[in-house]
Amino acid sequence: MYRPPRPTPLAAVISLLRTAARGGGDLMSLLPAKAYRVRAGWLGYSRRGILIVNDPELLRDVLTDPAGIYPKNDLMAGALEPLVGNSIFVSHGDVWRRQRRMIDPAFSHMRLGKAFVSMSAAVDDYEHRLDALCGTGEPFSLDLAMSHLTADIICRTVFSTSLRSQTAIDVFESFTVFERTCAQVEFKRLVFDKPFAAIPQHPEVLAACERIRHHLGELVDSHLAGGEGGAVWDDIAAEVIAARDLDTGEGFTRKELLDQLGVMFLAGHETTASALIWTFMILGLQPQAMARLRAEVDASGDGALSLEQVRRMTFVRNVFKETLRLYPPIPFIPRVAAEDAVIGGHRAKRGTMLMIAPWTIHRHRDLWKDPHAFDPDRFSAEREHELIPGAYLPFGLGPRVCIGAGFAQLEASLILARLCRRYDFEILDADRIRPVARLTTRPEKQLMCRVRRRADA
């Protein structure tokens, strides 16, 4: 069995000392070994108290939050605020309920069918780029490549524009600054800050957010003005603009639209890019898995792939699901106790951070057989009965489950099928790859690879 790279869990005392000494690093590499074993337990190194909750029953209580006392964590919400305001990803209670009701239809089945056409066009364009790279044999960053491709897909499906436009390129580059510098990725805040403290923002993050919102504003205004020659926009932005509150009949204000569409861009491309980097890494290093995947894809012929064909590719889907288990793009789903609470016998004072960590839950020895091994057949129909409800949550769980889960799975399956059918990926410096938790789960250093036209095609 192949066990892809992961940080070695630390002894509790070493974890504590390293954290105190550095005040830096990332939560994933500083986790003590017990974080992978407990039902629920304290991570000993934070001023505010961090309770990690791994047990499926307990975490369900936190994420479904029937009493409304576990909102999104204040540190995360504050760090994302300059970009996404109080939008669906971070809002709480009635504000969130209204937003979710209004945005859900933009991710309906029918919309996914339309999005598939734009996704396929983005992959067509992307193949031209890869063809050029095959010609030169130049190494390139898989991280940047995947972020670019998924950002292009978001631009096309949300705004009917492509990453070829200067606006979209500027948005993409500003997002890269945001991803690297946003306060949420500063581990020292988690360790030293008091709960509910104001989050100082870096000037460069604020400038990047301003640029992104300026461009989002242009795109929203062009939609509000209607298409050229009276044409009607037919994309996700148009659906969100047309959405009405069932009670008041009112739509989102312009500011709210910028907030919501900023989230679509953020949550809609960084996550899928993260998952694809790891999937291509595994397939590049595991020829047997690649061969099985190609056998399934090749059975659909070498023409354009239809949505139905992609949906029927169960091994492609299972490879992606298993990669989401080993490398969940959102490794930590933080909440905060807005009131004193008791969770699994632990007293959590107001302000405690409640850490639901797909990263540790997906690798918990009581929940998974051989948890660090890559075994896509765990998700096959024959073995489905082995899965423990609540132990697999790359898209979250409960009412706040990811709105774009169907979109992301379709997009990823299409990209994997199309690119693996045509190219061989050679992963460089494989022994130096190490995952870290930034805004999403990323390789510590950019993952470099070379691409060639598939040898056995």
Cβ of residue 265: shortest distance to ligand HEM, in angstroms?
8
Give the Cα separation of 104 and 403 in Å (integer). Answer: 7
| Beta-carbon count within 10 A of 367 CB | 18
For ligand HEM, the closer CB: 404 or 435: 404
H or E, element range at 131:
helix 109-136
**Amino acid letter for position 253:** T
C-alpha torsion sign, points 43, 48, 53, 58: positive
Cβ of residue 125: shortest distance to ligand HEM, in angstroms?
19
- Draw the binding track, 248-277, toward ligand HEM (x: CB under 6 A; -: no contact): ---------------xx--xx--xx--x--
For ligand HEM, the closer CB: 239 or 424: 239
Position 333 contacts ligand HEM (CB under 6 A): yes
C-alpha torsion sign, points 164, 167, 172, 173: positive
For ligand HEM, the closer CB: 134 or 263: 263
Give the Cα separation of 54 and 357 in Å (integer). Answer: 7
Cβ of residue 127: shortest distance to ligand HEM, in angstroms?
21
Number of residues that bind ligand HEM (CB under 6 A): 23
Position 75 contacts ligand HEM (CB under 6 A): no
Cβ of residue 68: shortest distance to ligand HEM, in angstroms?
14
Among 115, 343, 403, 447, which residue interacts with ligand HEM (rule: CB under 6 A)?
403
Assigned token pair, 315: 């091994």
For ligand HEM, the closer CB: 10 or 415: 415
For ligand HEM, the closer CB: 30 or 330: 330
Instruction: Tell the burial category of 278 from Cβ atoms under 10 Å away from its Cβ (0-12, 13-18, 19+).
Output: buried
- Residue indicated by tokens 């946003």: 182
Among 43, 79, 84, 88, which residue interacts with ligand HEM (rule: CB under 6 A)?
88
Among 70, 172, 280, 395, which residue interacts with ligand HEM (rule: CB under 6 A)?
395
Enumerate residues 91-110 that contact ligand HEM by CB under 6 A. 100
Give the Cα separation of 306 and 323 in Å (integer). Answer: 24
Give the Cα separation of 260 and 262 in Å (integer). Answer: 5
- Paired sense of beta strands 50-53 and 353-356, if any: parallel
Q: Which residues contact 43 (CB under 8 A, 6 or more apart)?
A: 31, 32, 35, 50, 51, 52, 355
Partnered with residue 435 across adjacent β-strands are: 443
Distance of CA 419 to the CA centre of its chain: 21
For ligand HEM, the closer CB: 333 or 420: 333
Position 331 contacts ligand HEM (CB under 6 A): no
For ligand HEM, the closer CB: 50 or 88: 88
Q: Which residues contact 117 (CB under 8 A, 6 or more apart)?
A: none
Assigned token pair, 403: 């709105």
For ligand HEM, the closer CB: 235 or 375: 235
Cβ of residue 90: shortest distance to ligand HEM, in angstroms?
8
Position 83 contacts ligand HEM (CB under 6 A): no
Select from 282, 270, 284 the least CA-distant residue to 449: 284
Position 407 contacts ligand HEM (CB under 6 A): yes
Position 329 contacts ligand HEM (CB under 6 A): yes
Among 111, 294, 400, 442, which residue interacts with ligand HEM (rule: CB under 6 A)?
400
For ligand HEM, the closer CB: 100 or 372: 100
| Beta-carbon count within 10 A of 79 CB | 22
Under the rule (CB under 6 A), what is the footprint of ligand HEM? Answer: 72, 88-89, 100, 263-264, 267-268, 271-272, 275, 329-330, 333, 394-396, 400, 402-404, 407-408
